[in-house]
Structures are given as structure tokens and as C-alpha cells.
Structure 1
Amino acid sequence: MVRHTPRLAAGLPPDEEVLLDVPDERLAPALVAAGRGDHGPAAKLLATTREAAEWENRDRYTTRLAAFARSRPEWFDDWLCASPHDPDALLVKAELAVVRGWESPARAELLREMGPLLTAAAEADPRDPVPWRIALDHARGTHASHTAFEQLWEEAVRRSSYHYGCHASALQYLSAAWYGSHRECFDFAERAASDALPGSLIQVLPARAAFAYLTSPSHSLGIPRERLDAAADLAIGLSREYEAADPWPAEVRNLLTYVLVRLERWDDALEQLRLIGPYATSFPWDRMADDPLGQFLELRDGVRIEVASMTPLRPPRGPVRSDEH
């Protein structure tokens, strides 16, 4: 282990270079401007995603802008005051309200009161699937029935058949931790992944189902190991389609790394850590610790130690030839 652990650090950035939830080159300037009280770049960014139907980017940016508005609301309050009917401002408003509602002890009651905000966001641009992802999150928090969930799901896929955010939210609803079961969750994930377009993040849904299973108190029941390995293998194949240290698949690579560690597939986990590079994400590590970055770095060291402990000190020699006697 002493000999191999330093060598296995090759391709891994030093701890001090690893950052958490780094915004991409489009979002970063909008966040900086918002921090200065200027909502203009954020409004322009979301307007661009709407006009170009960049639904995946729109969903990610909405989530990040709403998270920023929770702690620094002045810029967002100014945006709403200046443009109360702006589809993009209404979308962030709905996301922010649902996130706040989830944190309340009276979650279900508070979330039910937010229905009009979701309706306003959805009606502001009928093409947009992101309000329906928010609605699916909302449904989970309000104890919506399977019938109500299915109606929301139909609205979501009608707008975008392959929207990753809507699929991930639906998967949570169908998990054993909420209103489904491990088997129902896996069946949904595998069907969606089999229909996904090449390179689509939807191919990681079975790995998300594996994560839900492995973090459940009842994870010793029901799902065979080969199904978990198949989910991991599919996500590994997707990860390899992207460049190393690419921020776009960073969250799915972080998730996949957790699954591989739980499956004790140490070499595969180390490969994902090298592909992640400096892009640690809060999910899934914030499910295990209050310090997600520290948790990620600690796990990264642990994976290197596990791989080192299985690496022979010297490579095995080949068979001895007769002329060597």
C-alpha cells in the first residue's frame, strides 16, 4: 500500500484544487452579477435557454439560481418587481418556493399552498418541461396519489420525452423511500434507459435506482447483485462518452462513484474519480455528511488505499523457460 498509493494518485487533482458545485462558464457570470445585485445576466441566461429550448441547461440553471436566491434574495426580489410576469422569473420563483416548502416542518400543507405558483410557471411557456419537473417534486412532498403523479408525468414527457430532470424526479417518487418500491423504481429506470438517446444522462437512471436501493434500510432485500452491476456498467459506458474533467456529467459521475464503492468495485471507482477531476458535487455526498466536499475527498483517499491494498508488490513472473534452468 505504501508503494502503490502515491502512484495511484496519478490523474487525480490535489485536494486543494477540488471544488464543490462549480458553475459552468455561462452560469458563473450570472451568479457573480447577482451577487452584486444585478439580475440582468441571470434573466438573459434563462431567456436564452427558453428561446433555444435548452431544457437541460434551463433546469440546472434554474436550480442553481433559486439556491442562490435563498441566501441572497435582493437581486431576485428586484427581478420580480421589475418583471412580475417574466416566464423565467416565475420559474425561479416556483423552484425557490418548493425548495423552501420542503424545509418546513409543515411541508405538505405549505407545499399545497404553492399550487398557483406552479400553474403560473407552467402557463408562462407551455413548451417548457422544467415547471413539470418542479411539479413532480411538489407532488412527492404533498403525498400526491399515483394517479395524480401519472398525470403530471404525462404532461412532462409530452413536452420533452428525454428530459433528465423530470426522469430523476419521477424516479424519486417511485422509490421505496417514497411511494413506490425498489422493483418499481428499477423497472422505471431500466425502461427509460433502454429508450434513451445516445449520450443521454437518462442512461444513468438505473444507477440512481441502485443508489436509492443501497441507501435504503431495506437494501438487503429484493434486487439481485447482477442487476446492480448492470446499472453501474451502463453508467460507466455513458461516463466514458464524455471527456475527463467535464463539468456536464460531473454529478452523474459522483453518483456512480458512490454506487461503485458500495459494490466494492474499487478499480472502476478510481477510474471515475480520475474522470471527475476537480468537479465534486454536493449530491450524493450531502446525503452522508454535512461536509460533502470533505466526504468526497475522504472517500477518494479510501478508494486509492483499497486499490493499493489489492495491487501486488511486484508483477507476477511468467512461466520459467527450460533454458533458464
Structure 2
Amino acid sequence: MAVLREWGLTLGKWAGRPVARVQEDSGDPEVARVRTAAASGDWATVRRVLEARPESEDRTELVRAVGDTAGVERWITGVVEAEPEAALPKLVAGFRHISWGWEARTGARAQHVSRDQFELFHSRLRTAEEWLYEVAEREPGWVSPWLGLQMTGRGLQVGQLTARRRFEAAVRRDPYHLGVHQQQLQQVCAKWSGSHEEMHAFARDALLAAPGGTALGHLVAMAHIEHWLDLDRGADAAYMRRPEVTASLREAADHSFRHPDFVRSGGWLQVLNTFAMAFSLAGDSAGARECFTASEGRVTESPWYYINGSDPAAAYKEHRSAAGR
């Protein structure tokens, strides 16, 4: 199964209907700009783009984009050494070593990953942790190092108690940060030593504790998709068609993207794509159609790659057609 990448998205029109396409940004032109600068080792531009954003969801998306860029590891250590008192280079170095670590491990199942791959994976994550803890000490109000530590913690298997403490540290700094909650949702999934019950409870509690219009409705839809993924063929479809699943999705939608205070920023497109897939699997054509219309053909790779790993846009189009859109 493909490794999760959280920025995707769109464009184009054909016969009056948006053409579904996946693109390596979230509709934010600064994502492409910062990636280009990172690929060429242009730290001045990377710094300028990152410093122009508040230390929140918007900046963490850009930092993760830099971290996902191949080759950053070849120059970022030099920047860290040249600016020993600066937090931002260490933050970028930490996120690059997270992505670089997962590159070493690959997306294969554990039994197909060699000992050497695991050792390199863990070594890079431990280096990331060192930098991220330094950032957290230098900038105690920043949420981004704690988001990174959630990611390293899962790879290093720090355990549920430590993982929960890292999540709590992050939400003290940004209570409704979608990325932080997404990481904790993964932490309490059955595949990461959690359970379906814990996962669903976390998703709903987080949603209802947040103000109306929050992006955290995504957690409820994603929890149902994670549950669906864990079931055998036949049982998975039966689960998604349960009336209580549809009711749960509608409640979450009403509290998030259907709410008048919902803002199209940050991860809003992934919220719509995730609900579109969940409503489709649940057989709620009206709910799915609403999300497909609102997303205007803009396809986020997650969660559609769970259906078609090589062509998420094809999965989006297939389910959009089935919903009558």
C-alpha cells in the first residue's frame, strides 16, 4: 500500500465538469515554490516562505513539503551548523530525516523490510528526534516540532503513553490542528496497537470538543475508512452500509464542512475528499455527490489511493460517476 502523502489536488474542465487530477500541492502556490527552492538548495527562499507563515497548520504543511523533497539532507546540515542558534533549520532537518527515514524503510510490510533497512530507518528517526527536541526547547510555543515527534514516535514505537503525551503537548499549542489529530488517529488505530473502539471514540470526541466548522470532521470519516480497510472483502462493505455508520458521517459532516463557519483553508480539500469516499462506500449518494461537487475535481491522493494506489484520480472519478455527479 502506498505511503501516505497528504497534499494532493486538481484542475481543468471538460464538458462542463471538472477533470479529476492529482497535483502535488494543496491549492497553495507556496507549496510548489518551497519545494522548488528546497530541491535546488536555496535556503534563503525556503526560509522566506516559511517565515512568512504563522506557526500553525499552514506552516507545518510547507515544512512537510520541504521535508518530503529529495536531496534536502545534502545541504540542510550545513545550514544548521552555520546557524547554531536558529530553530527553523533544525525543524527542517528534523522533518527531512523523518521522510528520509521512511524512504529507507519503504512502504513494504514489516516482514519484507530487511534488518539493515530498519536500522537505517531508526537511525534517521532518532536524529530527527534530537533536532525536534532542540526546536521544542528553543521555541516552546511552536506546534510543529511536536507534530514531528508524533511521527517519529510511531516509527520508533515509543508506546501509547509517550505518544499520548506528545499529542497533548501539541494540542496545548494548537487545539484544533488537523495534522496533529491525524497523527494521533493513526496512533490509536488497530494497526498501530490501538483498537477500532479507541479510534472511533477519539475521532468523535475530538470533533465534538471543537467548535462548529472545524476540519476535524475528517477524523470521523477517516476512522470509518480505516475500519473498512481492516476488514475482509464482504465484511468491509457490510460495515460501511450500517445505518449507524451513515448517521455518524452525517453528524460529522454537519459539524464540519456543512457548518456555516467552515473555512476553505489548510486541509479543507482532504476533508471533502475523505467524506466523498466515506459517503460513497456507505451508499449515501447524496452525501457523496455534495462532496464531489464542492471539491470541483480536486483530488487528494489520500484516501483515494486506498482504492487505486497507482491512480487515485481514477478512483475519484469512478465513485463520482456512481454518485451521479
Normalising by structure 2, we get a TM-score of 0.77
Q: Does 1:299 align with 2:316?
A: yes
Q: Deviations over 1:156-213 (max 9, x none)?
A: 2222222221111111100111121001001111111111123221232111211211
Aligned position for 2:270 = 251
Aligned position for 1:128 = 142
Aligned position for 2:88 = 88
SS at match of 1:239: coil
Distance, in Å, in 2 between the alignment partners of 1:235 and 1:186 is 12
Aligned position for 2:118 = 106
Contact conserved, 2:241 with 2:282, CA < 8 A, in 1?
A: no
Among 264, 277, 280, the alignment partner of 2:283 is 264
Stretches of structure 2 lacking an aligned partner (at least 5 in a row): 1-13, 106-116
Aligned position for 2:171 = 157
Q: Does 1:38 align with 2:57?
A: no
2:59 maps to amino acid: R
1:219-234 correspondence runs (5 A): 225-234=242-251
In structure 2, the CA distance between the partners of 1:32 and 1:145, relative to structure 1 (3 Å rule), is closer
In structure 2, the CA distance between the partners of 1:19 and 1:13, relative to structure 1 (3 Å rule), is farther
Of 181-190 and 264-273, more deviation after overlay is shown by 264-273
1:230 maps to amino acid: A
SS at match of 1:230: helix
1:21 maps to amino acid: D
In structure 2, the CA distance between the partners of 1:204 and 1:113, relative to structure 1 (3 Å rule), is same
Contact conserved, 1:210 with 1:231, CA < 8 A, in 2?
A: no
Percent of paired sites with the same residue: 23
Distance, in Å, in 2 between the alignment partners of 1:31 and 1:169 is 23
Aligned position for 2:198 = 184
Give the number of aligned pairs: 293
Q: Deviations over 1:85-116 (max 9, x none)?
A: 43222112111212222342306743345431
Q: Does 1:61 align with 2:31?
A: no
Contact conserved, 1:37 with 1:75, CA < 8 A, in 2?
A: yes
2:61 maps to amino acid: R
1:46 maps to amino acid: L
Distance, in Å, in 1 between the alignment partners of 2:307 and 2:241 is 24
Structure number, greater radius of gyration: 1
In structure 2, the CA distance between the partners of 1:182 and 1:36, relative to structure 1 (3 Å rule), is same
**CA deviation after TM superposition for structure 1 residue 254, in Å:** 1.4
**CA deviation after TM superposition for structure 1 residue 56, in Å:** 0.9
Normalising by structure 1, we get a TM-score of 0.77
Stretches of structure 1 lacking an aligned partner (at least 5 in a row): 1-8, 309-325
Of 39-48 and 76-85, more deviation after overlay is shown by 76-85
Of 77-86 and 178-187, more deviation after overlay is shown by 77-86
SS at match of 1:127: coil
Aligned position for 1:281 = 300
Of 109-118 and 134-143, more deviation after overlay is shown by 109-118
Distance, in Å, in 2 between the alignment partners of 1:71 and 1:266 is 44
Q: RMSD of the alignment, in Å? A: 3.2
**CA deviation after TM superposition for structure 1 residue 146, in Å:** 2.1
Among 145, 155, 160, the alignment partner of 1:141 is 155
Distance, in Å, in 1 between the alignment partners of 2:294 and 2:141 is 35
In structure 2, the CA distance between the partners of 1:246 and 1:174, relative to structure 1 (3 Å rule), is closer
Among 194, 209, 222, the alignment partner of 1:195 is 209
Distance, in Å, in 2 between the alignment partners of 1:138 and 1:289 is 27
Among 170, 176, 181, the alignment partner of 2:184 is 170
Contact conserved, 2:307 with 2:315, CA < 8 A, in 1?
A: no
Contact conserved, 1:19 with 1:278, CA < 8 A, in 2?
A: no
Distance, in Å, in 2 between the alignment partners of 1:148 and 1:74 is 31
In structure 2, the CA distance between the partners of 1:10 and 1:177, relative to structure 1 (3 Å rule), is farther
In structure 2, the CA distance between the partners of 1:10 and 1:182, relative to structure 1 (3 Å rule), is farther
In structure 2, the CA distance between the partners of 1:278 and 1:33, relative to structure 1 (3 Å rule), is farther
Contact conserved, 2:276 with 2:291, CA < 8 A, in 1?
A: yes
In structure 2, the CA distance between the partners of 1:80 and 1:203, relative to structure 1 (3 Å rule), is same
Q: Deviations over 1:143-165 (max 9, x none)?
A: 22222122222222222222221
Contact conserved, 1:207 with 1:256, CA < 8 A, in 2?
A: yes
Contact conserved, 2:34 with 2:45, CA < 8 A, in 1?
A: yes
